[in-house]
């Protein structure tokens, strides 16, 4: 049975602030044991698509960086380049990624350490991992900058996801540690029955110039698999690599259908890929923190953030990615839905009703696939003990300074001399508040 440590999201003191709770869970779970002086610690983070607003705030990352450095570790914040996923993606090259996340507040100055795009400029700087135990994938490609780290902390925003059904620890490392060619692999690029290459194509449904997306659609596919002629739109199957740039366009207009089980297969492959990431870094060298806050229906990889589907849950920590995701899924399932969110639209407001299958997935795909596959391939267990962690007794580690206000400001007030005007401030001496109450 795996231990999953938990603290809720309520705060009423310095040591119950969410930053303090994250650090308390870090200590309680014993994550510091894997951090040795001089060793490189990758902090795996999703820093948000352009105009997404639900991603983890930089303050959490900065606090974790400072914690790692206090233990002698050499921290780096890591992520990898993405597939296009939709026509106007902002993180497909390392340059685009750095520009986007700087806009989102992530820089060396804000997080306190280097930000490394671990699979290189275009996403081909990677390490091949053999995966004979994989459920779908039998090999995977992990970004070199992650594979070379001595250990890793997966700091994850727990939320919904359109393809994985939910996005948690498994998705953070399964998709986020995969290089671009690793992402092509886990999205079944070129698979004869499960990938986009196998989809049904109905060019007669194309509205051509009458479609508002026509001009964009002509430049949609980076490999030329979608080709517009004067009379039709062709799908050249052998050129399709499953970059997914077209999914939100030709699928939505009804020209290109997704293969049966595409989303189920993708969810399963995410778990396979996560195991590859663990194997790349090393068994026992990956720790997980899930932040179940701002639990939006879709991932931080889309360029907007909808209203959360449930209220904030809290923070989780574990050495087991399957157990921590299972605990988060259960907590969300047990929660009441958020009023006027997609949970209300989908009829999942009551406690005990699965939320992500309805609110995250396009087609109601099971939210249990990722953890079930993770357990099946030996990455972790769904059998867990939820350990509720009390707040820290001492607030000192969470203070910005240990110098009291009087000690710091007394000499400055005295030196400045005129901090308080002689005779006081001009104010009304008697005030009747009855008219303004």
Domain boundaries, the chain: 2-189+261-388, 198-250
The pLDDT score that the predictor gives to residue 329 is 98
Q: Which fold has domain 2-189+261-388?
A: Rossmann fold (3.40.50)
The pLDDT score that the predictor gives to residue 275 is 98
The pLDDT score that the predictor gives to residue 248 is 87
The pLDDT score that the predictor gives to residue 86 is 87
Q: CA-to-CA distance for 308 and 294, rounded, in angstroms?
A: 6
Instruction: Select from 61, 42, 41 the least CA-distant residue to 106.
Output: 61
Instruction: Name residue 152's beta-bridge partners.
Output: 42, 286
Q: CA-to-CA distance for 124 and 181, rounded, in angstroms?
A: 6
Domains 2-189+261-388 and 198-250 in one fold: no
pLDDT tens digit at each of 437 positions of the chain: 999 999 999 999 999 999 999 999 999 999 999 999 999 999 999 999 999 999 999 999 999 999 999 999 999 999 999 999 989 989 999 999 999 999 999 999 999 999 999 999 999 999 999 999 999 999 999 999 999 999 999 999 999 999 999 999 999 999 999 999 999 999 999 999 999 999 999 999 999 999 999 999 999 999 999 999 988 999 999 999 999 999 889 988 999 999 999 999 999 999 999 999 999 999 999 999 999 999 999 999 999 999 999 999 999 999 999 999 999 999 999 999 999 999 999 999 999 999 999 999 988 999 999 999 999 999 999 999 999 999 999 999 999 999 999 999 999 999 999 999 999 999 999 999 999 99
The pLDDT score that the predictor gives to residue 252 is 87
The pLDDT score that the predictor gives to residue 140 is 98
Largest CA distance in the chain: 86
- Are β-strands 40-44 and 159-161 bridged in parallel, bridged antiparallel, or unpaired? unpaired
The pLDDT score that the predictor gives to residue 334 is 98
Asked if residue 76 lies in contact with residue 42, where contact means CB atoms within 8 angstroms, the answer is yes
Q: CA-to-CA distance for 41 and 152, rounded, in angstroms?
A: 5
Q: CA-to-CA distance for 207 and 188, rounded, in angstroms?
A: 29
Q: CB atoms < 10 A from the CB of 225, how many?
A: 21
The secondary structure of 140-188 as a DSSP string is EEEEHHHHTSSEEEEEEE-EEETTTEEESHHHHHHTTTB-HHHHHHHTT
Is CATH 2.60.40 the classification given to domain 198-250? Answer: no
Q: Is 215 exposed, middle or buried (0-12, 13-18, 19+ CB in 10 A)?
A: exposed
- Tokens standing for 82? 């993405």
Residues in the chain: 437
- Are β-strands 126-130 and 115-117 bridged in parallel, bridged antiparallel, or unpaired? unpaired
Asked if residue 64 lies in contact with residue 113, where contact means CB atoms within 8 angstroms, the answer is no
What beta strand segments (E) does 57-125 contain? Answer: 74-79, 115-117
Asked if residue 168 lies in contact with residue 230, where contact means CB atoms within 8 angstroms, the answer is no
Q: CA-to-CA distance for 155 and 143, rounded, in angstroms?
A: 17
Q: CB atoms < 10 A from the CB of 351, how many?
A: 10
Instruction: Select from 282, 78, 269 the least CA-distant residue to 175.
Output: 269
**Between vectors from CA 62 to CA 34 and to CA 25, what angle results, nearest 5°?**
50
Query: Which strand (E) or helix (H) includes residue 127?
Result: strand 126-130
């Amino acid at each position: 049975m795996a231990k999953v440590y938990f603290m809720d999201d309520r705060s009423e003191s310095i040591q119950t602030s969410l930053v303090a709770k994250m650090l308390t869970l870090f200590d309680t779970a014993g994550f510091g044991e894997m951090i040795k002086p001089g060793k490189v610690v990758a902090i795996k983070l999703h820093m948000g698509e352009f105009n997404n607003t639900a991603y983890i705030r930089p303050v959490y990352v900065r606090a974790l960086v400072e914690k790692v450095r206090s233990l002698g570790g050499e921290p780096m914040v890591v992520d990898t380049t993405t597939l296009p996923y939709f026509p106007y993606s902002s993180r497909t090259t390392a340059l685009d990624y750095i520009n986007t996340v700087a806009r989102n507040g992530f820089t060396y100055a804000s997080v306190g350490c280097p930000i490394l795009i671990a699979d290189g400029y275009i996403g081909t700087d990677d390490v091949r991992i053999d995966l004979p135990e994989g459920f779908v994938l039998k090999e995977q490609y992990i970004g070199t900058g992650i594979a070379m780290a001595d250990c890793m902390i997966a700091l994850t925003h727990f939320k919904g996801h359109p393809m994985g059904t939910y996005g948690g620890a498994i998705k953070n490392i399964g998709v986020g540690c995969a290089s671009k060619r690793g992402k092509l692999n886990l999205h079944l690029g070129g698979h004869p029955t499960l990938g986009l290459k196998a989809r049904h194509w109905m060019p007669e449904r194309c509205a051509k110039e009458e479609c508002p997306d026509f001009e964009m659609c002509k430049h949609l596919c980076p490999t030329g698999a979608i080709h517009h002629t004067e009379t039709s739109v062709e799908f050249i199957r052998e050129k399709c690599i499953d970059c997914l740039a077209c999914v939100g366009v030709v699928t939505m207009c009804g020209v290109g259908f997704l293969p049966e089980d595409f989303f189920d297969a993708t969810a399963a492959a995410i778990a396979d890929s996560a195991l590859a990431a663990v194997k790349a870094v090393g068994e026992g060298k990956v720790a997980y923190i899930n932040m179940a806050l701002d639990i939006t229906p879709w991932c931080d990889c889309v360029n907007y953030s909808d209203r959360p589907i449930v209220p904030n849950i809290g923070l989780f920590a574990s050495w087991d990615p399957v157990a921590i995701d299972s605990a988060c899924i259960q907590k969300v399932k047990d929660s009441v839905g958020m009023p006027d969110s997609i949970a209300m639209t989908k009829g999942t407001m009551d406690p005990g009703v699965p939320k992500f299958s309805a609110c995250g997935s396009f087609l109601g795909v099971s939210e249990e696939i990722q953890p079930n596959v993770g357990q099946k391939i030996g990455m972790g267990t769904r059998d867990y003990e939820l350990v509720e962690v009390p707040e820290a007794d001492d607030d000192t580690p969470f203070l910005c300074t240990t110098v009291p206000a009087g000690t710091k400001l007394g000499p400055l007030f005295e030196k400045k001399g005129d901090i308080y005007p002689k005779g006081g401030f001009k104010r009304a001496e008697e005030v009747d508040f009855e008219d303004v109450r």
